[in-house]
Amino acid sequence: MSHEKESIEDEYTDEEQEQEQGMIYMPISTLEEFGINASDIKKLSDNGYTTVQS
């Protein structure tokens, strides 16, 4: 049972790493396309947020 749990965790870790490597970061200005006001995006930018993922 313990060996099975380890292999599941290893598989999850490998899958997670693949997703992170392929991740494309979107600038916060992209939020404007989804209806977020430019003034709100500026506030985020002024406070150090540069990507949607941050």
- Asked if 50 contacts 27 with a C-beta cutoff of 8 angstroms, the reply is yes
Query: Residues 17-48: pLDDT tens digits?
Result: 656 666 788 999 999 999 999 999 999 999 99
- Asked if 21 contacts 37 with a C-beta cutoff of 8 angstroms, the reply is no
Residues 39, 42: Cα–Cα separation, whole Å? 5
Residues 14, 35: Cα–Cα separation, whole Å? 35
Q: What is the pTM of this model?
A: 0.55
Q: 5 falls in which pLDDT band (50, 70, 90)?
A: low
Q: How do the domains of the chain map onto residue ranges?
A: 24-54
Q: Which residues pair with 51 in a beta bridge?
A: 27
